[in-house]
Amino acid sequence: MTKINANDVRKVAKLARLELSDDLIETYTLQLEKILEYVAQLEKIDTKNIPPTTRAVEVINAFRDDISQNTNIREELIDLAPHREGDFFRVPKILSE
């Protein structure tokens, strides 16, 4: 695995929707470098033909009848929005000019 650098962190921060200052990018780069260096111990483990585990205790698909229910909390849910306008969530424009 190649070493993570500030540009990688900047790119990942953008993907993760985190607007970070250059100072923070630098701090996180150093910390992530150490953490990923530690994580790299996994590379040495032979996992050929080993299936991945997504969850440890197997569950079968939990099916239920598809019956609609009215929970009546629409108003409460919309009201949680930091910017509400009528029955809508108000957001800034989606595309920059």
Partner 1 sequence: MSISEWRKKLVLGEVSSLELVEEYLLRIKSVDQKLNSFLFVNEEKAKARAKQIDEERSAGKSLPPLAGIPIAIKDNLCTKGIKTTCSSNMLSNFVSPYESTVTQRLWDAGALLVGKTNLDEFAMGSSTETSAFGTTLNPWDIERVPGGSSGGSAAAVAAGLCVASLGSDTGGSIRQPASFCGVVGLKPTYGRVSRWGLVAFASSLDQVGPFARSVADAADVLQVIAGNDTKDSTCLDLPVPNFAGSFEKPIRGLKVGLIKECFDQEGLDQEVKKSVLRAAHQLEELGVELIEVSCPRFNDGIATYYVIAPSEASANLARYDGVKYGSRSEEEDNLVAMTSSTRAMSFGQEVQRRILIGTYALSAGYFDAYYKKAQQVRTLICRDFENAFKKVDVLLTPTSPTTAFKAGAHENNPLSMYLSDLLTIPANLAGLPAISLPCGFDHSELPIGLQLIGNVLEEERLLQVAHQYEQISNVMKNRPKGDFIPG
Q: Tell me if 50 contacts partner 1 by CB under 8 A.
A: yes
The answer to whether the Cα torsion of 14, 24, 8, 2 is positive or negative is negative
CB proximity list for 33: less than 8 A, separation 6 or greater: 3, 4
In angstroms, what is the minimal distance from the CB of 62 to partner 1? Answer: 4
Is residue 88 near partner 1 by the rule CB under 8 A?
no
Separation between Cα atoms, residue 25 and residue 23, nearest integer Å? 5
The whole-angstrom separation of Cα 37 and Cα 16 is: 22
Please, what is the minimum distance in Å from the beta carbon of residue 61 to partner 1?
8
CA distance 6 to 21: 12
What residues from 51 to 70 belong to the interface with partner 1 (CB under 8 A)? 51-57, 59, 61-62, 64
Per CB under 8 A, the list member of 3, 6, 7, 73 interacting with partner 1 is 73
> Where along the sequence are the contacts to partner 1 (CB under 8 A)?
1, 4, 8-9, 12-20, 24, 28, 31-32, 34-36, 38-43, 45, 47, 50-57, 59, 61-62, 64, 73, 76-77, 80-83, 89, 91-96
